[in-house]
Amino acid sequence: MAAPMSAGKSSFINALIGDELLHVANEATTACLTRVEHRKGVKSFRGACYLDSGAVLATQRDASAELLRDWNSDGRIKRIELKGSFNVAPRPASGLVVYDTPGPNNSQNERHGQLMREAVQNIPFKALCYVLNAGQLGTVDDRACLDMLGNGLPEDPAHEIYFVLNKIDLLDPEKGEDIGEHIERVHKYLSDAGFRDPIVIPTIADAALYARKALNRLSMTRPQRSKLHQTLDEFSDRKRALIHVTTAPATVKKRLFKELDELEQRSDAIASDERLAEENEMKQLITYSGLRTVELLIQRQRRLAESK
């Protein structure tokens, strides 16, 4: 996972995990390379942090966002490892590993850029998610980060890059900000930066995370509940539009439309049960939010890698 500072990388990973494990704030929050591994059956996330030398500085049986905030603020720590079960349905295959990298445009710490370059060059990844902020497209920091990414990627055709256009809900249709037109501008922007035929996924990561928290009966703040219900209202008639403008392989989009169709068909049968109806709406949100698209792309890439 790569992007400029505060683009939403940690929020997106939290949505993949199904809980607020990584610390999130409107500032630089990721200062260390963070490795998160899905381990089936492990109830809580176990954490360890490492010095530049590779030596273990500390371990924690039950890692939390507060602990990770403290570890990221400790200048001695270079790397963090977390192992636990992703609290989502359907669960990914055991052994899935997601990396969170520091945003390289933090002017107060040049080490962030170095850690991102090292991660891109040395981690044997099969897919890389680059998070774009829909409300801050084309900034100097963002273009510099894309240039760093393009120059640092190893020459390997097996590497796939998924451009996650996060915070798509910031676009205002009443002001003429059309999602399809915005996606076209993103394609041109990425093509000009040297990325041919980019996979672009319009995403609402925070609302998808809150939907998963609600489905898992986890506590939420009042602003989180408000954001969740606001998103459900705003996109009630634009569900298919988000999937339609996604530039993913046809098989992935077909699967997304099928999952959404099945959920919508079920909604009539459970309309009288308020709880089930609300859960169904949240499952639909996860499907069209872009989060499910990335999960299906990851599954597809893992199958391709295993078949070789």
pLDDT in tens, 63-121: 999 999 999 889 899 899 999 999 898 888 778 899 888 765 544 445 656 666 677 66
Domains of the chain, residue spans? 9-306
- What pLDDT does residue 109 have? 47
Asked if 249 and 228 count as a contact pair (C-beta separation under 8 A), the reply is no
Residue ranges of E strands in the chain: 33-38, 46-51, 56-60, 77-84, 97-100, 127-133, 160-166, 199-202
- β-sheet bridge partners, residue 59: 48
- What pLDDT does residue 16 have? 93
Q: What are phi and psi of 2, to 5 degrees?
A: -135, 155
Helices and strands (H and E) in the chain: how many: 11, 8
DSSP tag of 175: G
- What pLDDT does residue 158 have? 61
Low-confidence ranges of the chain (pLDDT < 50): 106-109
Maximal CA-CA distance, the chain: 60
- CA angle 179-281-232, nearest 5°? 45
DSSP tag of 217: T
CA-closest candidate to residue 11, choices 176, 164, 215 = 164
Neighbours of 208 (CB within 10 A): 27
- What pLDDT does residue 108 have? 46
- What pLDDT does residue 141 have? 76
- As a whole number of angstroms, the distance between CA 136 and CA 19 comes to 26
CA-closest candidate to residue 96, choices 31, 165, 16, 199 = 16
pLDDT tens per residue across span 116-133: 667 766 777 778 888 998
Q: Is 32 exposed, middle or buried (0-12, 13-18, 19+ CB in 10 A)?
A: buried
Asked if 255 and 227 count as a contact pair (C-beta separation under 8 A), the reply is no
Give the torsion through C-alpha atoms of 232, 286, 209, 29, to 10 deg: -110
List the strands of the sheet with 199-202, edge to edge: 127-133, 160-166, 199-202
